[in-house]
Amino acid sequence: MKITSVEWTGLRVPFRGRYVTAQESAVDRHTMLVVIADGEGTTGIGEAAPVGVGSLGDVQRLDQVLQAVCGRLLGMEPSRAMDLLLALLPDAGIGAAARFGVETALLDLRGKEADLPVAHLIGGEVGHPQVNAVIGMELLSDAVHAAKAAVSSGFGTLKLKVGRPQLEEDRIFVEEVRRAVGASVRLRIDANEAWDVEEAIVAINALEPFGLEYVEQPVAGIRALAQVREGVGVPIAADECLATPADAAQALAANAADVFVVKAARVGGLVQAVKMIELAEAGSVGVVVTSSLETGVGIAASLHLAGVLPTDGLACGLATAGMLEHDMLRSSIRVADGRMQIPDRAGLGVELDMRAVARYAVGIEGRVGEG
């Protein structure tokens, strides 16, 4: 079937509590939903999600990109349209976010037409990947309470946001969470590039006694990441510096990381993300698929991506929809015993709650085509 229309709607979805990292502090998540229809009335949905919390300006720029590109997809079969997207949209920034949304909608459409889950279309399987809980930079008492609650609900891995102005604050934070959850729970920390190389080495060595699974992106850039990895005994994960498969190849050549954190929104869609995963596996580097704080649509896409990974691999960072006031889905994807079910129905396997979409819309929307 050929594409007859593409439409998109910008959203502002409040967080349930302020989202705070070393780089961001926000009360809302801005994003864009994309819906593509074929001649039979079948629709595919996707989410063009800027990495991070996004902004109204990001949504406006996404609208401009989609206005410029989506008309060229009309009359094409979804598989051909996916090939064209790689040529039309860049590999980073807003272009990558737009490609993630449109490509996901195309994959959802293709999966429904073929009666296959998206995971099967990209070389994966459906299953129940492990996921981690995220503990932000909130008050210490709130963080400890959240950590204990997460473990009680079945999470075996916690990701702690660090990078406070004083290292001693991070040390107390990690120590108290470790004390609260016990030795068997895996702790990973994410500094979101808060440190320089010297600061990172000092901080990681100070936090190592609390039993860290890995430290995510302690510094900016691949070269600096390699220097940190050389100076510490804790595994290092690369995230922000991985925007393209070429970045992944450079990180491998530099021996910069033990783990790649792959965000489909950052790399421009599931197809590029699979290429990055294949490079990591060939280089004996672990992989964690994470969300970029998307609604349930983007998370569903990344769950299908996680179906490419080994069954008992590292816990993925996909249990984030609960941080938002609404996930935009008629039926949410639940977390049970620290795992999430990859939807096994055709396409993404999720449906939009159109009343919620209307409620959180910001008035930035567009459409090309008929039907």
Residues 6+ away with beta carbon under 8 Å from 207: 162, 170, 171, 174, 189, 215, 234
Phi/psi-derived region of residue 54, left when phi > 0, alpha when psi is between -120 and 50, beta in every other case: left
Structure tokens, 250: 């450079």
Catalytic residue among 2, 112, 148, 263: 263
* Residue 263 annotated as catalytic: yes
Does 112 participate in catalysis according to the annotation? no
Q: Which helix (H) or strand (E) holds 29?
A: strand 25-38
- What is the distance between the alpha carbons of residues 269 and 262, in angstroms, rounded to a whole number? 10
Q: State the DSSP H helix or E strand holding residue 5, giving kind and residue range, or none if neither.
A: strand 3-20
Give the residue among 22, 65, 66 at the shortest CA–CA distance from 173: 22
- Supply the DSSP symbol for 315: P
Query: Of the residues 2, 112, 148, 161, which is catalytic?
Result: 161
Structure tokens at 141: 């008492």
> Are 74 and 6 within 8 A, CB to CB?
yes
Helix (H, G, I), strand (E, B) or coil at 143: helix
Spatial distance between the Cα atoms of 1 and 63, rounded to a whole number of angstroms: 26
Q: Which residues contact 146 (CB under 8 A, 6 or more apart)?
A: 133, 135, 138
Strands 3-20, 361-369: parallel, antiparallel or unpaired by DSSP?
antiparallel
Q: Which residues are catalytic?
A: 161, 263
